[in-house]
């Protein structure tokens, strides 16, 4: 089991009620981790609408995660 440092922005932070957390998980990819978080927090966005950053770099949903990774799921935002 690994420990991941997660940050939540925008609507994801609203769902969790917190800006960040450390989470222990058996997930080995961002896709698996996000699926776990969807069940835990009832996130409405599917992963295809989000970007993922791993250790401050945009990553792939199938990248292999390592213990201690910093992960940010970035929801779509509107601006003007």
CATH number, domain of 58, equals 3.10.20.30
Which range (9-13, 31-35, 46-50) has the least confidence? 46-50
Burial class, 67, CB count within 10 angstroms (exposed 0-12 / middle 13-18 / buried 19+): exposed
For residue 23, what pLDDT band results from cuts at 50, 70 and 90? very high
Residue 30 covered by a domain: yes
For residue 79, what pLDDT band results from cuts at 50, 70 and 90? low
Tell whether the model's pLDDT for residue 65 goes beyond 60: yes
Q: Which domain holds residue 52?
A: 2-74
Q: Distance between CA 80 and CA 18 in Å, rounded?
A: 26
pLDDT, average across residues 13-21: 94
Whole-structure pTM value: 0.90
Q: How many domains does the chain have?
A: 1
Residue 16 covered by a domain: yes
Residue 80 covered by a domain: no
């Amino acid at each position: 089991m690994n420990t991941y440092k997660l940050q939540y922005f925008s609507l994801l932070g609203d769902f969790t009620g917190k800006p960040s957390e450390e989470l222990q998980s058996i997930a080995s990819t961002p896709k698996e981790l996000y699926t776990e978080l969807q069940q835990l927090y009832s996130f409405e966005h599917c992963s295809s609408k989000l970007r993922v950053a791993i250790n401050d770099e945009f990553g792939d949903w199938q990248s292999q995660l390592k213990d201690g990774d910093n992960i940010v799921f970035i929801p779509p935002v509107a601006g003007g």
